[in-house]
Amino acid sequence: MGDDRRLAAVVALAQGMAAAQSAREAWRAAAVGGCLALGGSFAALSVWERELGRLRVLVNVGRRAEDEEEFPENESYPVHQFAEITEFLHERWAGGGEPDAWVETAEGPAAGRPGYVHQRVAALRRRGRGCCVVAPIVLHGRAWGELYVARPVGERVFERADADFATVLASVVAAGIAQTERLEEVRRLAFTDALTGLANRRAVDAALDEAVERHREEAVVVSLVVCDLNGLKRVNDTHGHAVGDRLLERFGSVLSLCGAMLPGALAARLGGDEFCLLAVGPPADAVVKAAEELCRRAAELELGDGVACGVASTEDPVGSVRSARRLFRLADAAQYRAKAERAAGPVVAGREGPDDPVLRLADEPSREEDGERRRFRGRHSP
């Protein structure tokens, strides 16, 4: 490959990673870009998980074997099988060098410093690959993982020049991963409540819109639990805001614990003493059960006066739910009634028949004008 083509390949790889909207997209862009740039038939991006002592594969692209998934859930290898990266980097850095890529073939090493690695060679043979180039990825001064590109048996074996080029590609990948991590952190902060670590209102807005869209298109069950933590003002006035913050944190932990009863549920703090759980998929009865457990555990907290909890689900007889705004109004009205009645457990919208007072309260046109409730108001159009 000529210098111009290699430069174009580096630029394309960098652009692909920069355009990624998620970590997964960035991983795939790195593997695809590396595979194309090096003229491989297969590529993988893997990360070293030091605390678990393993190399975990993040993505496989190109001509995959039967046992290779694009985004594998559990493809990992013990570090003792592939210790050459950390050993190689340590040796090179100790001598003042830089991390370099190397080539291995189905017959053994072809270029680069590391020696014969039985596991890699066996994998090449098993999957019909003739050679591979392995490029360490270094991030923040530490070995982060590796870019692995392979060619099938019968094609030209990678050479020293290919390994040198892979080293350059690995540095571009490292820069892209660093950028992705920064963006992920920005997104995390933008959608996370700083005090409790739960999702915030912005995250719920986005997730609720998407969930209701899925309900309209696929009839997926969407349920929303809205709750107010009772007694927070008294705790703040009596013990100070630092103690009140601890109460909010403890309740946030309880909410997260109960949300774990519902696969994929989003636990969030909307602001002040207001929290919610958004569940997409689980049946309404399972959501009510989780809400009951939430009320029980909240009542056992040392401070505060329990929680007022309302539930609304598209699976219950609440009428048509065509917007996120309507589902929230239903859950909000149920919570409002629970608070007014000092209910020990959750109030569930639609379970008291066609004359359910929660439904009437939710659909009163004057509710948005009297300042009665404040959450989400103005966020969703009818």
Mean pLDDT over 80-109 rounds to: 64
Note the pLDDT of residue 89.
Answer: 52
Residue keyed to tokens 């909410």 = 255
Q: Are 321 and 258 in contact (CB under 8 A)?
A: no
End-to-end CA distance of the chain: 58
Q: Residue 92 pLDDT > 60, yes or no?
A: no
Task: Calculate Rg over the CA atoms of the chain.
Answer: 27
**pLDDT exceeds 80 at position 258:** yes
Residue 306 burial (C-beta neighbours within 10 Å; 0-12, 13-18, 19+): buried
Q: For residue range 17-63, what is the model confidence (pLDDT) as tens digits? A: 999 888 899 999 999 999 999 999 999 999 988 777 788 999 999 99
pLDDT at residue 83 is higher than 60: no
Q: How many CB atoms lie within 10 A of CB 363?
A: 14
* Of 174, 182, 132, 179, residue with least CA distance to 30: 174
Cβ burial, residue 278 (10 Å; 0-12/13-18/19+): buried
CA atoms of 193 and 202, how far apart (whole Å): 10
pLDDT at 313: 96
The strand ranges marked E within 140-265 are 142-152, 222-229
What lies within 8 Å, CB to CB, of 66 at 6+ separation is: none
pLDDT digits (tens, 9 = 90+) for 360-373: 888 876 444 444 44
Q: Per-residue pLDDT tens for 204-216?
A: 999 999 999 999 9
- Beta-bridge partner residues of 47: 56, 145
**Would you put residue 298 in left (φ > 0), alpha (ψ -120 to 50) or beta?**
alpha
Q: What is the pLDDT of residue 371?
A: 45
Average pLDDT, the chain: 85
Q: Using N-to-C axis directions, what is the helix angle for 3-18 and 160-190, rounded to 10°?
A: 20
Separation of alpha carbons 23 and 280, rounded Å = 23
Q: How far is residue 23's CA from residue 180's CA, in Å, rounded to a whole number?
A: 6
Query: What order do you get walking across the sheet with 142-152 strand by strand?
Result: 76-78, 54-62, 42-49, 142-152, 129-139, 102-105, 108-111
Residue 320 identity (one-letter amino acid):
S
HSE value, Cβ hemisphere, 13 Å, CA-based, for 42? 21
Residue 95 has pLDDT above 80, yes or no: no
pTM of the entire structure?
Answer: 0.58
pLDDT score at 378: 37
Residues 132/119, Cβ–Cβ less than 8 Å: no
